[in-house]
Amino acid sequence: MTWDPRPNPGRDDGDRADTGPGGMPQWLSGRLFARRVVMLSGWLDADKAGRAAGELMLHDADSDDPVELHLTDIDGDLDAVITLLDVVELMGVPVKVGVGGRLRGPAVALLAAGDQRTLRPHATVELSEPKVEVAAGRASELAAQAADFARRLRRIQDRIAQTCGRPVDEIAADMRSGRFLDADGAAAYGLTGGAQIPG
């Protein structure tokens, strides 16, 4: 069965065993899609980022109503996060980002990109750099890879700095040290808040 995020009122109980991407039941995927909610949890890889980006773009084209992006226990691949970040930033409708569990690594930029940003009471944020696998190669090749990684990481740091109103070098230092923030700390840091969006 091909996964379709749209609700299917004709689905019977026997179809409820069918699952969409990530193991979510089809009936639940449909209901969330109808409510303009995109949910992500666990490790954000290219496949998850691509699916979420596709859903966001469908919502953007469908209506001017806000979209909700829910992040639960999220960390992710740097490139995958940047892929999804680009889409969130280009959305023509307001995006409400909510966090549950722990949000860490480059995925913190997804929270920072929201028009309205909230953490659940026991959620936490860890500002940390993504892990890098050291590849073999000539010195010039390794230097080029390091420069490219630094450029992509700076994209994440710039996004967080812009939202929080802090120097990008401060964000970079906090990511190197692994700064930990609870809900109150995230609010004081500038990560939560944003515009009041009706609906």
Give 20's pLDDT tier (boundaries 50, 70, 90). low
pLDDT of 3 higher than 60:
no
Using one digit for the tens of pLDDT, what is the confidence trace for 40-55? Answer: 999 999 999 999 999 9
Give backbone dihedrals phi and psi of 93, rounded to 5 degrees, phi first: -120, 155
* 179-185 contacts, C-beta under 8 A, 24 or more apart: 179/126, 179/127, 179/128, 180/124, 180/125, 180/126, 180/127, 181/124, 181/125, 181/126, 181/127, 182/123, 182/124, 183/119, 183/120, 183/121, 183/122, 183/123, 183/124, 185/125
Q: Examine the pLDDT at 58 and tell me if it is beyond 90.
A: yes
Kindly report the number of other CB atoms within 10 A of residue 93's CB atom: 17
Tokens of 57: 């773009």
pLDDT at 21: 57
What pLDDT, in 10s, does the model give residues 150-185?
Answer: 999 999 999 999 999 999 999 999 999 999 999 999
Mean residue pLDDT of the chain comes to 88
* Closest residue by Cα to residue 120 from 73, 173, 154: 73
- DSSP three-state, residue 34: helix
Q: What percent of the chain is modeled with pLDDT above 70?
A: 84
The pLDDT of residue 143 = 84
- pLDDT category, 199, cuts 50, 70, 90? low
Q: What is the pLDDT of residue 9?
A: 47
pLDDT score recorded for residue 10: 47
Domains and CATH numbers, the chain: 36-192 (3.90.226.10)
* Coil, strand or helix at 80: helix
